[in-house]
Amino acid sequence: MAHKFRLFPILLFIAVVLNSCSGKANRNLNIDVSKTNISPVNIKRYEKQLFNIEKNSFKEGLKKIAPEFPVFLKADLDDTLNLIRLNDFVTSPLNTKLYDSVLVIFPTLSPYEEQLTEAFKRYNFYFPEIGLPNVFSYVSGLSYEYPVQFYAGDMIVALDMYLGNNFTEYRKTGLPLYKIERMNKDFLVRDCINEMYYYTYLEKPGKNVLQKMIGEGKRLYFLDAMLPKTPDNIKIGYPEQKLNWCLDNESKIWAFMIENDLIFSSDMLVIRKFFTDGPYSHSFSSESPARLGEWLGWQIVRAYMNKNQEITLQELLLEEDAQKILTGSRYKPKK
C-alpha cells in the first residue's frame, strides 16, 4: 500500500452503521476491538504552547517547545526571518481571535481523543502493518482547504476549522454556506479518519463515472469500517434532510443514470455534475444534495461487501476493477 501525504507551509501555522440498500447489516464490520492493544490517543496541543509563549522571550520559548512539536518547529529558530514570521503569526488579530475561540469550543479534547482511540483500534485491526500517527492540534489561520493533514506520519488537526457554522470569520473568507455548514466539531473525527484513508491508500483517479463512483464508495465504506457509530450524513457531509432525500429517491437516481447512459461516461461535464461539491445537484431538485455519484458509489460498495462476505476491507481497497464491483454488488435499489 502506498502512503499519500499532503504537505503544508510549516512556518505559517507552524451507530451502528446504516444498512446498505439490501437492508442487511454488513457482518464484515462487526469486529471486536476490546482487546486491541494500542496506546490511547493523546492529542498534543501545539496552539496552547505556541500562543502562551512570553513575547519578551519568544525565541527561548520556541526552542523550549520545539522538541515536542518538531512537525511545526523543525526550522532554524536562530534565523531572524523565521522568528519574525512566527511572531507575526501569533500576534495577528485574526489568529489571536481564532485561538481564543478554539479555547472556548475546545477547552478539552478528551471526547475526540476517545473517539479517535476507538477508530485507531479498528484501523489497527484491519491494517496492523501500518503504524498509527501521533496527533497534533493547532491554529492554522483558517487553512480551510486541508483542515486535517498528514506530514511525515503525523496527523495535524486545525481546530480553528471546527468552530461552528455561526462563527463570523468563516463568512468573511467567501466560503459558500454549504461548506461552512460542515465546519463544526461534529466533523472533526470524521475528517481525521477520512484523511487516514488517503494515508493508507493511494487511489488512482477514475476515468469515467463508474470508476469515480466506486472510488468514492470505497472511501466512504472505509469510514463505515472505522466509524460504525457515526451517522451517515456526517460521513458523507450532507445535511440530514439531504441524505433523507437520497434514501427516498435512490431508485430514481439510479434510473436516471441508466436511462441517460451516464454510468460509463467519461465526459468531464457529466463527471463534474455528479461529483463536484455544491448546495444541490442540478440534475434534480433543490432538495437534492450535490455529489450524488459519491452516494451511489457508497451504496454499490456496501451492497458488494454485503453479498461477498469473504472479501476483506484490504481486498476491497486494492480492487481496481470497478465493473467487477458493480457486477458483484447486484445493485438494484427498491422502487
Which tens digit of pLDDT belongs to each residue from 46-78?
999 999 999 999 999 999 999 999 999 999 999
Which tens digit of pLDDT belongs to each residue from 121-152?
999 999 999 999 999 999 999 999 999 999 98
What is the β-pairing status of strands 148-151 and 44-45? Answer: unpaired
- Each domain of the chain, given as residue ranges in start order, spans 10-14+31-200, 209-329
Residue range 188-216: mean pLDDT, rounded: 92
C-alpha cell at 71: 512537525
Segment among 13-27, 155-169, 214-228 with least mean pLDDT: 13-27
CB of 175 within 8 A of CB of 156? no
What is the β-pairing status of strands 135-138 and 44-45? Answer: parallel
| Percent of the chain surpassing pLDDT 90 | 83
DSSP state of 133: P
- Residue 13 scores a pLDDT above 80: no
Mean of pLDDT over the chain: 90
CB of 168 within 8 A of CB of 186? no
Which tens digit of pLDDT belongs to each residue from 289-303?
999 999 999 999 999
Given this model, what pLDDT does residue 97 score? 98
CA distances (Å), origin 7, targets 43, 76, 145:
20, 19, 12
Residues 6+ apart with CB under 8 A from 30: none
C-alpha cell at 294: 459519491
Which tens digit of pLDDT belongs to each residue from 215-265?
999 999 999 999 999 999 999 999 999 999 999 999 999 999 999 999 999
Residue range 90-100: mean pLDDT, rounded: 97
- Residue 9 scores a pLDDT above 70: no
Given this model, what pLDDT does residue 28 score? 66
- Residue 193 scores a pLDDT above 90: yes
Say whether pTM exceeds 0.95: no
Residue range 319-331: mean pLDDT, rounded: 97
Which tens digit of pLDDT belongs to each residue from 107-125?
999 999 999 999 999 999 9
**Residue 26 — pLDDT band, cuts 50, 70, 90?**
low
